[in-house]
Chain A
């Protein structure tokens, strides 16, 4: 099918609920860990090599046809924070709706029926890419990019950060994004033979801990 479908899937305006989530940026801003463009770049770098890599590998594995149920369990096991698991499923459910309307497929219908309250977002992202006729590497890029673009746009709103500075930070991460996407696909190919246990399990404990605290705030701008 068409490579250009990747542009549709990766578009920040793809209506799949991401705009209400900060990817941990709101908690990091409040804690003083992100105060400007430099802090944003470090935060995104950390997220890219942990959550980003894991998400990209899960997405690529889903494109390669690894069992979504097993991938969903693998995602659960790699997400210690209950708040983040809930957010990932919620976003997965929202993405599933958008994907089914955009690229109708029997496979998506079946997974939607199996997970009425949502499977983890990266797994659904991979299935959406598959339904769109995209490659594992495309899905890996999309997941890795989302892991940094979400916090960047949230930080623009939270700190009134200059949007050009935020975009510059994302651009500087591009070479690392290439490497993470490649690693993710390699891992996903291994998972086809060895099972999902061989997928990366890089984690950022502070993201998990801060997400738990954030979920209990009475007043917040973002859902996660």
Chain B
């Protein structure tokens, strides 16, 4: 929208790339995907990988607890003032797609209170395959599925798998135990996503979140360019 328009007073237009004082706002990346696929674990690993080179903050969207925020606090991946939990009233996808106001407030408050920030990660509450983030809330979105949820998920497609800027297929370490065929998952994902990237990841493995962290660095370079 008005990418170079500077507002007086609080921002009204969510996707504006500038804050009310005219400075460039942080890049916002959303992480969505089914319950338990590894969103919080990926956020935690990204914080550890990037916190020494970037100024970071996290917004979690829990469905009925503050568990994700509390996990991140317990793991001390970031100082507590950089982690905010949003309450979503039983509808996680509403808060990231149809009515993003509470999340926008959370990201803006983080920038005001602990900024300047380079990057804000917004984790959605675990949801179904149709949940995607509004472009008014995030600049890019990652969809996280895992090999244990069934190796036919990439074939089923749906907006998350098909349109996310990055698809993570997580927990590849479990593939032998649950009988998931990674080659088939990769081929199906290719059909659904054409040129959009896919990362197969195990947070238990040595490489961990490295490939995703590199992708985030690239997005950030493009954002600040």
Interface string of A10-24 (1 = CB under 8 A from B): 000101111111100
User: Which A residues, 1 to 50, have Cβ-Cβ distances below 8 Å to chain B?
Assistant: 13, 15-22
With both beta carbons as reference points, the residue of chain B lying nearest to A14 in the complex is identified as: B99
User: Which B residues, 75 to 124, have Cβ-Cβ distances below 8 Å to chain A?
Assistant: 87-91, 94-95, 98-102, 104-105
B interface: dominant SS: loop
Give A18 to B9 CA distance when docked, in angstroms.
24
Q: How many A-B residue pairs have CB under 8 A?
A: 72
CB distance from A108 to the nearest CB of B (A): 8
CB distance from A88 to the nearest CB of B (A): 14
User: Which A residues, 179 to 224, have Cβ-Cβ distances below 8 Å to chain B?
Assistant: 218-223
Q: Which of A13, A19, A112, A116 has the most chain B CB within a 10 Å cutoff?
A: A19
Pairwise interchain contact B9-A220, C-beta atoms closer than 8 A: no
Pairwise interchain contact A97-B90, C-beta atoms closer than 8 A: no
B102 partner residues in chain A, CB cutoff 8 A: 17, 20, 90, 94
Q: Which of A15, A104, A110, A112 has the most chain B CB within a 10 Å cutoff?
A: A15
Tell me if A173 is interfacial: C-beta within 8 Å of chain B.
Answer: no
Tell me if B4 is interfacial: C-beta within 8 Å of chain A.
Answer: no
B8 partner residues in chain A, CB cutoff 8 A: 109, 113
Interface string of B1-27 (1 = CB under 8 A from A): 000000011101110000000000000
Pairwise interchain contact A112-B99, C-beta atoms closer than 8 A: no
Give A69 to B87 CA distance when docked, in angstroms.
28
Residues of chain B whose beta carbon lies under 8 Å from any beta carbon of chain A: 8-10, 12-14, 63-66, 87-91, 94-95, 98-102, 104-105
Listed A/B pairs (26) with beta-carbon separation below 8 Å:
A13-B99, A15-B99, A15-B101, A16-B101, A17-B99, A19-B94, A19-B98, A19-B99, A20-B87, A20-B89, A20-B95, A90-B102, A93-B105, A97-B14, A97-B105, A101-B12, A104-B12, A109-B12, A110-B9, A112-B9, A112-B10, A113-B10, A218-B65, A220-B87, A221-B63, A221-B90
Residues of chain A whose beta carbon lies under 8 Å from any beta carbon of chain B: 13, 15-22, 90, 93-94, 97-98, 100-101, 104, 109-110, 112-113, 116, 154, 157, 218-223
